[in-house]
Structure 1
Amino acid sequence: MIDFLFSQYKGYPTHQIVLEIIAILFGLASVLFAKKNNILVYPTGIVSTIIFVYLLYKWSLIGDMLINGYYATMSIYGWVLWSQKKDDIIEYPISIMDKRDIIKAVVIFFITVLFVVFIYKFFNKFTDWTAYVDTFTTGIFFVGMWLMAKRKIENWILWIIGDIISIPLYFYKGYTFTSLQYFIFTIIAIYAFKEWKKSLAKTI
């Protein structure tokens, strides 16, 4: 069983395996902070995404690298938004998407997908079915990250969808630790959605 799960790591440099584990731990911490609506979601997330940008570059996973590069950038953006207060009142509390948010989300999704398609074609990465799935999950995760920065509760729905798809995807690619991370992410995201929903109900 152990050999089935982790045989993909044979021949991997030890430092890359250690870095992947560290990135996963910071990633898990980030999602737990997000679940608690705690601003520490961002500094912990930045550490995780920067490490993954390096690893994914080494693994030649361009689409995934772009996702994590975007995460790092949006983490800074989200950190700024979550820090904003007016008369000690948070300017961006947990809320529900309105029509303008939905339109922006759809636009971000399609622009992201088109951008990834362009990048994949440029680097000739459409050589496996996983590349096509990557374009879809990248769009989902880009929108999810943007919605989290805006503290929109629907961000968790997108995380759940993207995480579920990523579990078998990363295992197939040979990154068992990252696959397990997305499995845990899915569970946390489900509970986080419920927790944010309760918090939102108190303010209505």
Structure 2
Amino acid sequence: MLEFLFSQYKNYPTYEIVLEVTAIVFGLLSVWYAKKDNIWVFPTGIINTAIYTYLLWKWSLLGDMMINFYYVIMSLYGWYHWTRKKDDVAEFPISIMTHFEKKMSALIFTGTVLFVVAVYTFFDKFTHWTSYVDTLVTGIFFVGMWLMARRKIENWILWIIGDVISIPMYFVKGYSFTSIQYLIFTIIAIYGYLEWKSILQQKKN
């Protein structure tokens, strides 16, 4: 079983395996902190995505690399957004999407997919079915990260969808550790959605 899962790492440089495992640890911490509505989601997330940006560039996975570079930028934005307070009360608490944010989400998704398609076409990367799925997942995660930075509960729904798609995709690409990471992400994201929903319900009551 272990041979089946991890045989693709035989020819990998040791430092790349160490970096991938390190990124996974910080990624799991980041999602856990997001579930808890804790500001540490951003510094841990920045470490995770910065490492992955480098690794994915090395692995020539351009769409995935762009996702992670975008995460670094959005994590900085989210870090600032979450720390804004008015009279010691969070200025942007957990909430549901507004009509404007729904329109913006559609624009971000469409723009992201078109951009990734253009990049993949230019670099002739549409050589495997995972490349087409990658464009869809990139759009989903771009919107999910934007919504998380704005503390919108719907971000969890997009993470769950994107994570579920990513589990088999990364396994097929040959990155078993990352595939397992997305499986754990999916579980935490489900609990994250339920926890944020409970917080929202308490506020209403």
TM score, norm. by length of structure 2: 0.99
Q: CA deviation at 1:122?
A: 1.1
1:124 is the counterpart of 2:124 = yes
Structure 1 residue ranges without an equivalent (≥5): none
1:59 is the counterpart of 2:59 = yes
What SS is found at the alignment partner of 1:152?
A: coil
Query: 1:6 maps to what in 2?
Result: 6
Q: Deviations over 1:60-91 (max 9, x none)?
A: 00100000000000000000000100111101
Query: 1:182 maps to what in 2?
Result: 182
Q: Distance in 2 between matches of 1:6 and 1:85?
A: 46
Query: 1:40 maps to what in 2?
Result: 40
Alignment of 1:129-148 (within 5 A): 129-148=129-148
Counting aligned pairs with the same residue, the percent is 66
Alignment of 1:1-204 (within 5 A): 1-204=1-204
- Work out the number of aligned pairs and report it: 204
Instruction: Tell which deviates more after alignment, 118-127 or 164-173.
Output: 118-127
Q: Distance in 2 between matches of 1:92 and 1:44?
A: 21
The root-mean-square deviation of aligned C-alpha atoms, in Å, is: 0.4
Q: Deviations over 1:139-166 (max 9, x none)?
A: 0000000000000000000000000000
Q: Distance in 1 between matches of 2:2 and 2:38?
A: 36
Structure 2 residue ranges without an equivalent (≥5): none
Q: Distance in 1 between matches of 2:172 and 2:159?
A: 20
Q: Distance in 2 between matches of 1:203 and 1:7?
A: 50
Q: Distance in 2 between matches of 1:107 and 1:170?
A: 27
Moved over 6 A (4+): none
Q: Distance in 2 between matches of 1:93 and 1:128?
A: 42
What SS is found at the alignment partner of 1:6?
A: helix
Q: Distance in 1 between matches of 2:115 and 2:160?
A: 23
